[in-house]
Chain A
Amino acid sequence: MHGARHLTVGHLMMLLADSANLLPARLQMAFTLGFHIIFACIGMGLPILIVLAEWLSLRNGDPVWRTLAKRWSKGFAVLFAVGAVSGTVLSFELGLLWPEFMGKFGPVVGLPFTLEGFAFFTEGIFVGIYLYGWNRLAPFHHWLCGLPIALAGTMSAWFVVTTNSFMNCPQGFQLDADGKLLDVQPWTAMLNPATGAQTTHMIVAAYMVTGFLVASFYAWEILRGRNGLYQRRALTLGVLLGGFFALVQGPVGHWAGHVVAVTQPIKLAAMEGQWETETYAPLRIGGIPDPETKTTPYAIEIPGMLSVLAYDNPAAEVQGLNAFPEDLHPPTPIVHVAFQIMVGIGTLLIFIGLWSGYLLKWGKSAWHERRWWLLTLLASGPLTVLAMEAGWTVTEVGRQPWIVQGFLRTKDAVTQAPGVWFIFAVTMSIYLVLTVGCISVLRILAKQPMPEDADVA
């Protein structure tokens, strides 16, 4: 434990020594990305729920479903706008904080960003049509205009994450002796070996985040005694989305882990706290890697399991951190602990999904008697967000010291302009206003009275 803390402080000192701008720039990037990603996830998942609810209302003319779709779409308008502006911050920040990265690799990742621009555009257009078109379009046409929102949201996530997968697994270009780009193949760069697993992992996570956040919110409402048809249906839709994709995430996560093992063995070693290169490598549950002694104490070890998870073969050799020069090691304790959090919560969510499915299908008890289940669901939303953030910590911190694996170090990419701490402080206060505003406006929306025809008793 002491060793780990010692490293973190030592690591910070190292960062400060490298470049005065590196720490504030990284903190700002981590904070703004971590903020945006929550809204981006809801921007992907919530349209699916809205479209589902509207479809159900069209099919059986049930006003409760329609009320649900309408009220959700207002909340979505607020969340989408916060997602859009925080995403704009990111597109500026890439240039303002990492000019060397954008100057050098901008052309290689430009194609997915351009395509993402179009996807986001389509999303923005149909959000406008959908939100303001309830009375202007025939009901079925209005429903149709919801589909591009859901589709385009997921497409933009796909394109953006390909850029990150490129940073993890760069290909599709050559560098000449001066480090200038030659022979860029943007499609090859976009469709790199990490793309499939990473994009799928993220999109599935986004649906989980939305589903469990929705379930969490309505579990709270029902626990407070607002146990109406409206709340029960909302919770059901949410938990079905979240639970289903929690099950899907199992094999997808395994796939993602395998791709990391092949393309970024050092990241895998850090994730697992694996110091020695060995066959029959054990899977560690818990434990805190100690860079001083190069061990991972306090872990429960399951022999051979890591070899199986990474290469589907217990005899497979897994490379340890010691196989790599020390200046290429990522901050191992952070990566390992974040990975444990993600996997731990992910496993828990699978069980929550199964439990919910059982209760909804075969449960005999009344909703207000399912107190433990509701309390669990209440926790599931924030936990899912935590797992998703931990996952991004794994992939980003696990790639350090590189910004583009093997080609550009983070410290060489950062801006030389002064005042980055100041900009970071201003950014933090702006995001504080955004957070407070978003929450208070969502509360006002939630308190709006239900229309007469929606049975909420």
Chain B
Amino acid sequence: MSPELIVGIVLGAATTLYLLFGGADFGAGIWEINTAFQSNEKERKLLYHAIGPVWEANHIWLIFVLVVLFAAFPLAFQALCSAFIIPAFLVLVGIVFRGAGYVFRAYSIDSGRQQQFWRTLFAGASAAAPFFLGAIAGTLASGDSKINAAGVYEGNYLTDWITPMALFTAFFTVGLCCYLAAVFLTREAEHSGEVELTLVWRQRALATGIWMGVLAAVGLVFVSLEAPELAHGFATRAWPLVALSAICGTGSLLLLLWRKYTPAAACTMLAAANIIWGWGIAQYPVIAPPFLTLADSKAPDSVLWAMIGAVAAGAVILGPSLALLFYLFKLTPSDSADY
């Protein structure tokens, strides 16, 4: 296997984990907009309790993706940075205020309006970050990024990233984050023995899930109209993954109906993960569509092999640490606030 393919797979895996876990944290923040109107303290507690211990770790997948991208595929990174300077900056603003808003809210205990302000900021920023990340993904997927085969950006910085496909994927990503969060929160509510809350979240998850199913179907039509290259990749190579994603998505809805929340969460994760892998395989070996490939934009092989070594060594520490974190906070039932 060529080193650029190995690093490409690592990138894909990290992106997937960011979508699943970081995305769910964003989703929880977006739900906060909703719960703000209802001001149910118990509900809010579940939500913050769910993301509190893990959001820092989940957030780091994005940094990992960025670092690996610029180290292993510098040309692609340079081109993407030039093409998406505006949406990337907006993502950044969202990420900064989501993280800061979260801790400021969590620790500005009993301060009334101030806490309310941070909560609002947290919720708004949680929606902004996946929205603009989704927009970047959409413009890339549609092949309209205006990055040429030499990795030079030839478009208008200000407006060219706003395409119909970008708008669609932006909303789709936000919806996906909401769905992931709703399913995870249903499971966590059941885990902490909150019968009433479990039903509330189950209902939210079902409603969001049905909408996401409709959006996904529309999305496939959208791809075939707006992104013919990607549609071709889907039809010829990536169709098993697209099919698997559809099956898992439907399965997650049924499992929610049957109140099997842990399998439902697993199915939701598979459905979301297969979108990333379906996209990746459909456009392989291109990294920055329409032209720039992994091989064209890669760093020298000596660098790639050193990175693969570093990733392998790092995984030995990271794997058990992550396992401990998730074992402690996601697999062991809890009853009270820990902080």
Contacts and interface: CB of A to CB of B under 8 A. Distances in A.
Whether both chains belong to one complex is answered with yes
Given A186-B302, A434-B100, A114 B310 contact: yes
A183 B77 contact: no
A132 B339 contact: yes
Contact of A78 (B67, B89, B107): B107
A279 interface: no
Contact of B53 (A96, A116, A131, A187): A131
Given A88-B92, A103-B74, A106-B74, A74 B318 contact: no
Given A96-B85, A441-B108, A136 B59 contact: no
A102 B53 contact: no
Contacts of A17: none
A181 interface: yes
Contacts of A181: 299-300
**Residue from the set A107, A111, A437 with the largest chain B CB neighbour count within 10 Å:** A107
Contacts of B321: 121-122, 125-126, 148
Contact of B302 (A78, A118, A185, A440): A185
A114 B325 contact: no
Interface in B48-80: 52-57, 59-60, 62-64, 66-68, 70-72, 74-75, 77-78, 80
A77 interface: yes
Q: Main secondary structure on chain A at its contact with chain B?
A: helix
A419 to B, nearest CB: 8
B294 interface: no
A106 B71 CA distance: 5
A104 B151 CA distance: 13
A430 to B, nearest CB: 6
B93 interface: yes
A372 interface: no
Given A96-B89, A110-B303, A111-B307, A121 B64 contact: yes
A134 B338 contact: yes
Contact of A183 (B158, B300, B325): B300
Interface residues of A, number: 75
B1 interface: no
Interface in B279-334: 299-300, 302-303, 306-307, 310-311, 314, 317-318, 321-322, 324-325, 328-329, 332, 334
Contacts of B324: 125, 129
Contacts of A135: 336, 338
B168 interface: no
Contact of A132 (B78, B109, B329): B329
| B interface majority secondary structure | helix
A113 B100 CA distance: 23
Interface in A79-103: 80-82, 84-89, 91-92, 94-96, 99-100, 102-103
A109 B68 CA distance: 11
B102 interface: yes
A136 B78 CA distance: 45
A386 interface: no
A143 to B, nearest CB: 15
Nearest to B62: A88
A127 interface: yes
Contact of A118 (B75, B81, B92, B318): B318
B233 interface: no
B99 A423 contact: no
A154 B60 CA distance: 17
B95 interface: yes
Nearest to B84: A96
B332 A136 contact: yes
B96 interface: yes
Interface in B7-26: none
A423 B87 CA distance: 12
Contact of A81 (B64, B103, B109): B103
Contacts of B70: 94-95, 102, 106, 110, 113
The 4 residue pairs across chains A and B that have the minimum distance between CB atoms? A110-B71, A107-B299, A103-B78, A118-B314
23 contacts: A89-B92, A92-B88, A94-B70, A99-B81, A102-B70, A106-B77, A107-B71, A107-B72, A107-B300, A111-B306, A117-B67, A120-B60, A125-B325, A128-B56, A182-B300, A183-B302, A415-B85, A417-B85, A419-B157, A426-B93, A437-B104, A440-B108, A440-B114
Interface of A: 74, 77-78, 80-82, 84-89, 91-92, 94-96, 99-100, 102-104, 106-111, 113-118, 120-122, 124-129, 131-137, 148, 181-187, 415-419, 423, 426, 430, 433-434, 437-438, 440-441, 444-445, 448
